[in-house]
Amino acid sequence: MSQQAAFLQSRLSHLFDNKRHVDFVIATPSVRIPCHKSVVAIFSPRVAEECRSKDCEEISVEHDPSLLLSLLYNWKDVSYLDYINNIVLSAHELQAEFLLQGQKSKKSQFNGDDHMRKLKQLHTTTFKEGLKRLRRSQAFVDVTLEVQGYFFKCHKVILCAASDYFDIMFSSGMLEEGNDNICLQGVDHVIMDLILEYIYTEKLDINVTNADIMISTAVYFQMPSLQDLCEMFLSDNLDVENCCDVIQLAELYSCNNLKENTTRYLLSHFKEVTTRAETKFTKLPGDVLEALIESDDLLAPDEASILNAVLSWFDVQKDQEEHTLLSLLKHVRLNLIPSHELQRYLNENKHIKRFPECKKLVLHSSMDTTSKTNHSTKQRREEVLLVLKGSGYLKGLSLACFTFQPCCWYRLPELGSYTPGCSYAACADDSNIYVSGGTNSPRSFYRFSLDRNQWMQLKSMSKSRSEHGMVVIKDAVYCIGGTMQPKPSFTSIDKYQNDTWTKVGDLSVQTANAGCSCHGQIILIFGGTKSVGVLNHEIQAFNTVTNQCTIISHFPKKIMSGLLGLASDSGKYYLTTANGIIVRYIVGGGEPETIGTAHNLYLLGFATVIHKDDLYILGGTSLKSEEECTRQFNLKSRASSVNRSMKLPFERASNQYFSAIVRISRSFLNQSFQ
C-alpha cells in the first residue's frame, strides 16, 4: 500500500472509532453504528445505490457489521475463521463484493492465510479506485471550497482525514450549521486543485516551479504526508544554485527532514556553493552559516577556504557587527591555517583589522604553535567509501575506506576476534557500523565507532541468524528475517536498544537474503528467498511505531528478487540483482521499474553504494572467479563502466562485502594500502 493510502485509511479509522464527522447509520435490531456515507459507499454498492437514489441517512441490516466496518476503514490482520464467522454474512448484506471473491475454491487447493492476504490487497485496490471514483463522479459531496473564484466540491470526511486544518475547522463550530460553502483565503486555486487530486488519486504534479508554494500550502493545511513528498522532491532536486533558498524555506516552515538533507548537501558542496557567482550563499542567515562551519562534516579544501567564505559572506551583510564575525571565526579551525597566511589576513582584511576581538583571535592563532585548543586543531571529517570484508575461509573481518580526492585506499582497524563465515549482515548510520550473525558466529553482534575508530562487542543476539537483514533507526538496530540452514527462513524481527534484544514483530512473508533499508520509521524489505531456490517477489514494509508489516508492492516479472544489492538515496531505492539488472523503487512513486544493466555476470557477495550520481558495485564472486574490480553505473546517463582506480585491496577468498558512504576524521587516514 502506498504511503498516502495507508495514511488516509489510518485517519479515517480514527474518525470512525471516535464517531467524528459521521453522517450515516447502519442499524441492526440491537445496535446502531454511526459511520461515513462516502467511505462505506466505496466498498458497498448497496449503500452507494440507495444513497444515490434518495436522500438516505440510514440503512437496516440483520447482522452486526461492526467488525466488517472496522476492516473497511483500515484493514487489520484477521483470521480466516473470524472472516467466515463474523464478516461474510455482513459482506453479503452490504454487497461488499471484493470480500466475497474466491469463496468457491476447492478445499484441497484452498489456503485460508493466502486468501486473507489476497483480500487485504483487494481492499487496498478497492479503496484507491473508490476514492478516484468519488473525485470524478462527485457523488455524496457535502462541502464546496471556494478559492480565488474557483469552486471545488469535496467530501468533509476525506478532507478531515487528509488535513488537520479541515478536521479542526469542521469540529470547532467555526462554521454556521448548514453552511457547506467555505471560502479559503491566501491559497492558490491551481495548487488547491493539485492538492485535491493528490488526496483522492495519489497523483502529485510537483515541479521546481510550484514546489515552494506546494510545501507552504501543505504546512498551512497541516498535511504531513504531502509535506513529506514535497520535502523529498526538493531534497532530490537540490543543486548549488537553489540549496541556499531551500534551507531557508525549510527553516521557515520547520521542515526538519528537508533541513537535514539540505544541510548535508551544503556540507558536501561547500566549495561550489561559496565560490560560484550564481549561488545565493551570501543570503544565508548567520546562524545557518555558523552551524555549517561548526560541523566536523564540512567538506572544504582547507581551513583557509572556509575563512575566505566567512569573510566574503560578512563583507556583503547590511549589519556588520563584531559579535557576528567573532562567533563565526570561533568555529574556523584557525590553528590549522599556516601562520604566514593568518598574518596576511591580519595585515590585509579590513574587518579583522577594525574589530579588536577578531584581530586578537586571529593573532593568537597565528602565534600559538604549542598550546592549541582541542577544537582549533581538530581535523574535520572526510567523506569516504567504507568497505567491510568478511570471508568464507579466512578469520576476522577487514575494514577499509576509499577517498575520492585523491583516489586512495586506507586501512582501518580489523576485527580479528570475529569470524562470521558466510551471510553475515551489516548496516550503518552517521556514527557507527553494526555487524551481526553469519554461519560461523550466528549470534555475534559488534559495533565499529566512526568517531573513535574502534570496534566494540555488544550483547549477543537472542536468536541465531544468517542471511538476515539489518537496519538502524535512530538508536535502535533491527535484525530482519534470515535463516539457519537447513531451517526455513524466518519471519521474526528483533530490535536492539539500551543493550537489550526484543522481538517486536513479524514479516508478512518469511524471507532470507532480502535487501533491507529504512524510510523514516518504516523498514522496507525487498524480495529475498523463502527457502533455497524459492524467491520472494514481495516488497514489504514494517512500521516500527505500530510494529505491523504489510506488502506494499511486487517486483516486475522475471526479476531475480533474491540475493540483492541495495543502495538508497533520498527515498529512491536501487536494487542490483545477481545478474546485474538495476531496479529502482520510489516510495509513493508506483511500482518498481528496471532502469538498466550494470553487467552480464552472475555475482554473489557484492556490495552496492551510491555516491553523488553513481551506483558503485563492489566485488562479487561468480562460478568462475572472484571480482576485484568496482563497477560504476551512472544513475543519470544509465551507462555502466569499470572503475580501475577503485580496485579492491583485499585478498580474494570467497569474500562478502558491505559498503556505505560515511564520514571519518582525517586523522584516522594514516595507513594506506601499498
Q: Are 191 and 210 in contact (CB under 8 A)?
A: yes
The tens digit of pLDDT for each residue in 568-616 reads: 987 899 999 999 999 999 887 778 999 999 999 999 999 999 998 899 9
Look at residue 486 in the predicted model and tell me its pLDDT.
Answer: 81
pLDDT digits (tens, 9 = 90+) for 532-568: 888 899 999 999 988 989 898 999 888 988 888 999 9
The answer to whether residue 51 is domain-embedded is: yes
Spatial contact of 588 and 2, defined as CB atoms under 8 Å apart: yes
Q: Where are the alpha helices (DSSP H) in 297-439?
A: 303-315, 322-329, 339-348, 350-354, 356-367, 374-377
Judge whether 199 lies within some domain: no
Has residue 38 been placed in a domain? yes
First CA to last CA across the chain, in angstroms? 51
Write out residues in the chain with pLDDT < 70, as ranges.
1-2, 102-110, 173-179, 368-376, 674
SS3 call for 593? strand
In a domain, 240, yes or no: no
Residue 1: predicted pLDDT: 54
Is 422 within a domain? yes
CA geometry: angle at 442 spanning 439 and 447, to 5°?
Answer: 115
Which three cell numbers, joined as nine digits, stand for 161? Answer: 482525514
Q: What is the CATH number of the domain that holds 514?
A: 2.120.10.80
Domain count, the chain: 2
CA 96 centroid distance within chain: 35
84, 104, 137 - which closes a domain: 137
Question: Which of 111, 137, 163 lies at the terminal end of a domain, its last residue?
Answer: 137
Q: Per the domain annotation, does 111 fall within a domain?
A: yes
Residue 374: predicted pLDDT? 52
Residue 376, pLDDT score: 62
Burial of 150 (0-12, 13-18, 19+ CB in 10 A): exposed
How far apart, in whole angstroms, are the C-alpha atoms of residue 496 and residue 475?
9
Which of 90, 113, 137 corresponds to the end of one domain? Answer: 137
Alpha-carbon gap, residue 646 to 631, rounded angstroms: 9
The Cα 418–Cα 434 span in angstroms is: 13
How many Å apart are CA 402 and CA 619, to the nearest integer? 14
| Domain extent at residue 88 | 3-137
The CA R_g of the chain, rounded to the nearest whole Å, is 29
For residue 615, list its beta bridge partners.
610, 633
Residue 99 cell numbers, joined: 470480500
Longest dimension (CA), the chain: 93
Task: List residues bridging with 433 in a β-sheet.
Answer: 428, 448
What's the CATH code of the domain at 75? 3.30.710.10
Please choose, from the candidates 89, 72, 69, the residue with its C-alpha nearest in 3D space to the C-alpha of residue 26: 69
Q: Give domain status of residue 430, yes or no.
A: yes
Residue 449 lies in a domain: yes
Question: Which pLDDT score is estimated for 247?
Answer: 97
